[in-house]
Chain A
Amino acid sequence: MSRETMNLLLPSGMSRRGLMRLMAASGLLAAAPASLRQAFAQDKSLNYFTWSSWGAPEFVADAKKKLGIDLKPTFYSSSDEMMAKLRGGGTRLYDMIVPVQNYIEPAAKAGLIEPLDPAALTNKKDIFQQFAESPQWRVDGKLYGIPFVWGANAIAYNRKETGEVDSLDALFDPKYKGRIALRDEPEDTLAIAALKLGIKAPYSMGEKELQEVKKLLISQKPLVRAYWKNVADVQNMLASGEVVVAWSFLAVIAPLRRAGVDVGWVWPKEGAIGWNESITPVKGTSKLKLVEEYANFTLSPEYGEFMARNTRYAPASKAAIARLEPELVKDLGIDINNVGRLVFKDIPKDKSRWNEIWNEVKAA
């Protein structure tokens, strides 16, 4: 079916994208002839399934200006949502996504993503080695991404109440009884407890270590005000004074400071939980070359600088960081000299056991 006949058949006011979404939702797309899908593949546009930060209007305008690529963003707000939509037929709707490193193996094994050609990513030379060579972006010898952005989940604290904090001990300190918040997510919280116990590789813990972690977290429960689910909730807790020290995302810091709360942000000396994200092609995209072009662009110093200034997230490109003033680098919440402290979030050896241990902690 040609594009013209499709337009004729469409109810007025509905875009082709709208129709595609509708068809995907109803499962019809699976039955559509391949030629129909081809009709959408001619232009220089990319259906970009991403976090809201990376698809903001200034990024769309930048891609158009520098590469002539039309980004058409659709947003997800959690990695689960990304996975669920891709599994539910979303692979037919999108050309690329921005996964976090620990979702690469599951997404690759479930046949949701496509590898990139390493030769197309010429800007890789500027990327910090621990990101460029990270095994987490490689499955069965194939490369699924080179991260352009990174950061860490760490401790946010109310300086007025706690003074300076530098250790995970603050989260276990009876002084702050009832004023501590942790994240309601096993892969953050079990890992923190493991680091506190001095376990160096939390994500490959065995049953014996998991039991110790469980014991520690249960003994900590009387000190904890709440386990937060959404980042907005921990921000509220810190803003309203419900808690004074919390395991948190960096994203809460700037708004809290704007609201006049004197919050500190620190990667505890025992370790912080690192994350990084890359452009990754979606399985079956007809525009792999264009995705690779864009992926390489996100690794460039220009993109890194643009991103840091617009979003306050840290670029993975050394060359990009070199372009930033020292004060801004400090603002990014990254600690270049202490990258060694990061433990990159990974798939736990026994993921369902981790979930169960976390439920046992919560039910205790």
Chain B
Amino acid sequence: MRPSVGTVLSFLAAPKLWLVVFFVLPMMTMVLYSFWRVADYQIVADFTLRNYEKIGGSLYVGVFLRTIRISIYVTVLSLLIGYPVAYFLARKVRRFKLTLLLLVILPLWTSYLVRTYAWMLILGTQGVINQSLMAVGLIEEPISWLLYSDFAVTIALVHIYMPYLILPLYAVLEKINPSILEAAWDLGGGRIRTFLSVILPLSLPGIATGCLFVFIPSMGAFVTPELLGGTRSIMIGSIIAQQFGVAYEYPFGSALALVLMGIIFATAAFSLRYGKPKGLA
């Protein structure tokens, strides 16, 4: 028996309701808040554009640019390290594949905070790197910029988010039809030529998705920059968190969060548009 229209609609209604309650409504609340203001420790529902005007000032534009810059470092570094790993797992490994994949996601089983603190032990002046370098006599004084610096923030974020890049990339690379590669070789393409003209274009969707999965959370990061960043490592996530915490400026925080979301949506739209497989599909 075919299900009636009513049954189908009611099945559709549940996920719609879920979306409305947990996505649309909170979002609308934020949009509304972003046009309100705080007076005498209470949120006042007066329409104002002041929050957005404030974001246009040099302070917040500067912090947004910094955040984008660090997120790009993190994304590029994750791609440079993660692509060979995904490629190796997808196309070279035959035995222990599952075990190796498990190793990729293993760090995700540890808390984000623990992984961040672990970097303090590695990068600090008393940390593993400095102490080993000093023990073998390569340096006299500990290198101070390893910890409490943009370097530390970037390294830790790469470590934290890279699994999200490797997995989609792995899925795409694994699905490439071996007969296409054989055709490339038969037609005289060497290893490098085959990689550049066949594998790389075919893996573009994986690169686009993987990069997005690293870029987006890096843009919102605030715990890692606060713990590992130096005196200049402020990122927009910290400022947003501040508005909802100590500052009690929900309206301004909402406006900042919406601008951040706008940047992220634009990046996502761009990557998905240009992240289509090129050439043979």
Answer yes or no: A126 CB below 8 A from chain B CBs. Answer: no
Answer yes or no: A360 CB below 8 A from chain B CBs. Answer: yes
The answer to whether A362 and B124 touch (CB under 8 A), given A106-B41, A356-B59, is no
Does A359 lie within 8 Å of B125, measured CB to CB? Answer: no
Answer yes or no: B112 CB below 8 A from chain A CBs. Answer: no
B residues within 8 A CB of A241?
Answer: 125-126
Name the one of A80, A226, A351 contacting B148, with C-beta atoms under 8 angstroms: A226
A86 to chain B, nearest CB (A): 12
Instruction: Say which one of B75-83, B159-167, B231-239, B262-270 lies at the interface with A.
Output: B231-239
Name the one of A184, A240, A362 contacting B232, with C-beta atoms under 8 angstroms: A362
The answer to whether A225 and B148 touch (CB under 8 A), given A106-B41, A242-B124, A359-B239, is yes
The closest CB in chain A to the CB of B229 belongs to A226
Name the one of B40, B42, B230, B252 contacting A225, with C-beta atoms under 8 angstroms: B230
Answer yes or no: A338 CB below 8 A from chain B CBs. Answer: no
B residues within 8 A CB of A240?
Answer: 124-126
Does B245 lie within 8 Å of A363, measured CB to CB? Answer: no
Answer yes or no: B48 CB below 8 A from chain A CBs. Answer: no
B residues within 8 A CB of A105?
Answer: 41
The closest CB in chain B to the CB of A185 belongs to B246
Name the one of A78, A80, A226, A363 contacting B230, with C-beta atoms under 8 angstroms: A226
Within 8 A of A (CB), among B90-122: 120
Answer yes or no: B63 CB below 8 A from chain A CBs. Answer: yes
B residues within 8 A CB of A184?
Answer: 226
Does B231 lie within 8 Å of A110, measured CB to CB? Answer: no
Does B232 lie within 8 Å of A363, measured CB to CB? Answer: yes
The answer to whether A363 and B42 touch (CB under 8 A), given A240-B126, A242-B147, A351-B247, is no
A178 to chain B, nearest CB (A): 6
B242 to chain A, nearest CB (A): 6
A residues within 8 A CB of B227?
Answer: 229, 233
How far, in angstroms, from A356 to B62 measured CA to CA in the complex? 13
Answer yes or no: B88 CB below 8 A from chain A CBs. Answer: no
Does A359 lie within 8 Å of B63, measured CB to CB? Answer: yes
Does B42 lie within 8 Å of A109, measured CB to CB? Answer: yes
Does B59 lie within 8 Å of A360, measured CB to CB? Answer: yes
B residues within 8 A CB of A123?
Answer: none
A residues within 8 A CB of B125?
Answer: 240-242
A interface: dominant SS: helix
Answer yes or no: A134 CB below 8 A from chain B CBs. Answer: no
Answer yes or no: B132 CB below 8 A from chain A CBs. Answer: no
B65 to chain A, nearest CB (A): 10
How far, in angstroms, from A193 to B61 measured CA to CA in the complex? 26
Answer yes or no: B249 CB below 8 A from chain A CBs. Answer: yes
Does A362 lie within 8 Å of B234, measured CB to CB? Answer: yes
Answer yes or no: A12 CB below 8 A from chain B CBs. Answer: no
The closest CB in chain B to the CB of A232 belongs to B117
A residues within 8 A CB of B126?
Answer: 240-242
How far, in angstroms, from A260 to B239 measured CA to CA in the complex? 37
The answer to whether A352 and B148 touch (CB under 8 A), given A227-B231, A362-B232, is no
Answer yes or no: B248 CB below 8 A from chain A CBs. Answer: yes
Within 8 A of A (CB), among B159-206: none
Q: Output the residue of B229, B231, B245 with the most chain A CB within 10 A.
A: B231
A residues within 8 A CB of B229?
Answer: 226
Does A359 lie within 8 Å of B232, measured CB to CB? Answer: no
The closest CB in chain B to the CB of A103 belongs to B41
Does A359 lie within 8 Å of B234, measured CB to CB? Answer: yes
A130 to chain B, nearest CB (A): 25
Does B63 lie within 8 Å of A363, measured CB to CB? Answer: yes
Answer yes or no: A286 CB below 8 A from chain B CBs. Answer: no
Q: Output the residue of A224, A355, A356, A363 with the most chain B CB within 10 A.
A: A363
The answer to whether A355 and B148 touch (CB under 8 A), given A241-B125, A362-B232, A362-B234, is no
B129 to chain A, nearest CB (A): 14
The closest CB in chain B to the CB of A230 belongs to B227
A residues within 8 A CB of B124?
Answer: 240, 242
Does B248 lie within 8 Å of A106, measured CB to CB? Answer: yes
B175 to chain A, nearest CB (A): 44
Does B232 lie within 8 Å of A236, measured CB to CB? Answer: no
Name the one of B42, B66, B147, B247 contacting A355, with C-beta atoms under 8 angstroms: B247
B residues within 8 A CB of A78?
Answer: 245
A residues within 8 A CB of B42?
Answer: 109-110
How far, in angstroms, from A359 to B125 measured CA to CA in the complex? 27
A67 to chain B, nearest CB (A): 33
Within 8 A of B (CB), among A233-255: 233, 236, 240-242
Does B245 lie within 8 Å of A80, measured CB to CB? Answer: yes
Does A226 lie within 8 Å of B231, measured CB to CB? Answer: yes
A residues within 8 A CB of B41?
Answer: 105-106, 109-110
Closest 9 CB pairs of A and B: A362-B234, A106-B41, A226-B148, A80-B245, A110-B41, A240-B126, A355-B247, A109-B41, A224-B231
A interface with B by C-beta (< 8 Å): 78, 80, 83-84, 105-106, 109-110, 178, 184-185, 221, 224-227, 229, 233, 236, 240-242, 351-352, 355-356, 359-360, 362-364
Q: What are 28 A-B interface contacts by the 8 Å CB criterion?
A: A80-B245, A80-B246, A84-B245, A106-B41, A106-B248, A109-B42, A224-B231, A225-B144, A226-B148, A226-B229, A226-B231, A227-B231, A236-B120, A240-B124, A240-B125, A241-B126, A352-B249, A355-B247, A355-B249, A359-B63, A359-B234, A359-B239, A359-B242, A360-B59, A362-B234, A363-B59, A363-B62, A364-B232
